[in-house]
Amino acid sequence: MSSTRGVMIFAEQTGGVVHPVANELLGKGREIADTLGVELSAVLCGHCMEQEAQELIYRGADNVYLFDNEALASFDIMNYRANIVALVEETKPDIFLLGATPIGRSLGPRLAAALNTGLTADCTSLEVDDEGHLVQIRPAFSGNILAHIKTETRPQMATVRYKIMQSLPRDVERQGHIVRPSLTIGEPLARLSKVPTDVEKQIGVSEAEVIVCGGRGLKKPEDLVMLKELADALGGVVGCSKPLVDSGWMDKEHLVGFSGNTVRPRVYFAVGVSGSSQHLIGMRTSERIIAINSDPTADIFQVADYSIVGDLYEIVPRLTAALRESRERDRTAGSVCS
């Protein structure tokens, strides 16, 4: 087993709320740290986040390094990088993990470059081999193979996709230390003056509990309205396969799969989606998959819990109407009782 100084994860936050990927990293990090017999630490940059630091302990961290300063309240790449690099150089973790989120994807390569080490992006699995090396597993060659990558340099760094790893249950008995390292604050290159309120409220496909995903079975962009109506009836959001992004029908943030988001909603509707390996990689762990496709041999049916063979243009409006009707019935029944 290699001599190791611990596992560290980056707990990102926005608006004082820690991203749930941090809990998933702690879940996986705890497993790796226990296998190696080392400590698990989290690094949190923000302002007035003592309570959130404590929560990271409840979720598995032995130590939380809390960089607390007003200038760190929102993501400031230069100040985040400078302080985390100094911390890593001092504490020398053997493994450093970040979420493969926009913030993690932006910070990770900069940390790796400053620390003169490698970074494996977008891992979907992590293991420890017999020598104690981190095996970083991620899809490669269009998602057709899983590459197993080891890094010679230290720390071994990886970004990990959201909604892949399991979080630990919150345990308020868990003990740990909150450490406040000395920090340096430089002039920020840019300052965030305001977050538009509609962006604040938006739920992305990664967080959604219900996703209605449209594929190339749709004939024109206006038909997305039909999917939006179904998503609204279910309290969900609309996602899409890659051809819809390539055609400019939807933004990449709605994309599900290898090149976009990994999702794990309670219910995933695949509407006119064939089920390519690159698409399946991003959604196959959804709790319930309902596929609507006119081709009974479509690969999506291999992973579907409920298969509806037929024309989406007939089925989707009927589903939406049935859901609305049933909601209206519930509402009327509720008003009679009250």
Residues at the site binding ligand FAD, with contacts judged by CB under 6 A: 142, 215-217, 241-243, 255-260, 272-274, 276, 278-279, 282, 292-295, 298, 311-313
Instruction: Please say which residue, 75 or 313, places its beta carbon nearer to ligand FAD.
Output: 313
| In the complex, minimum distance from the CB of residue 214 to ligand FAD, in angstroms, rounded to a whole number | 8
| In the complex, minimum distance from the CB of residue 43 to ligand FAD, in angstroms, rounded to a whole number | 30
| In the complex, minimum distance from the CB of residue 99 to ligand FAD, in angstroms, rounded to a whole number | 18
- Give the residue from 288, 280, 235, 291 showing the smallest Cα distance to 258: 280
The one-letter amino acid code at 313 reads: Y
Q: How far apart are CA 307 and CA 301, in angstroms?
A: 6
Q: How far apart are CA 45 and CA 73, in angstroms?
A: 7
| In the complex, minimum distance from the CB of residue 241 to ligand FAD, in angstroms, rounded to a whole number | 3
| In the complex, minimum distance from the CB of residue 104 to ligand FAD, in angstroms, rounded to a whole number | 18
| In the complex, minimum distance from the CB of residue 158 to ligand FAD, in angstroms, rounded to a whole number | 20
Report phi then psi at 281, rounded to 5: -60, -25
Instruction: Please say which residue, 209 or 299, places its beta carbon nearer to ligand FAD.
Output: 299
Instruction: Please say which residue, 50 or 253, places its beta carbon nearer to ligand FAD.
Output: 253
- Give the residue from 208, 225, 218 showing the smallest Cα distance to 241: 218
Q: Which residue bears the tokens 């504490």?
A: 91
The one-letter amino acid code at 218 reads: L
- Give the residue from 169, 176, 212 showing the smallest Cα distance to 312: 212
Instruction: Please say which residue, 141 or 331, places its beta carbon nearer to ligand FAD.
Output: 141
Instruction: Please say which residue, 34 or 314, places its beta carbon nearer to ligand FAD.
Output: 314
Q: How far apart are CA 124 and CA 126, in angstroms?
A: 7
DSSP state, residue 16: T
Instruction: Please say which residue, 90 or 311, places its beta carbon nearer to ligand FAD.
Output: 311
Neighbours of 1 (CB within 10 A): 12
User: Hey, which residues does 43 pair with through a beta bridge?
Assistant: 10, 65
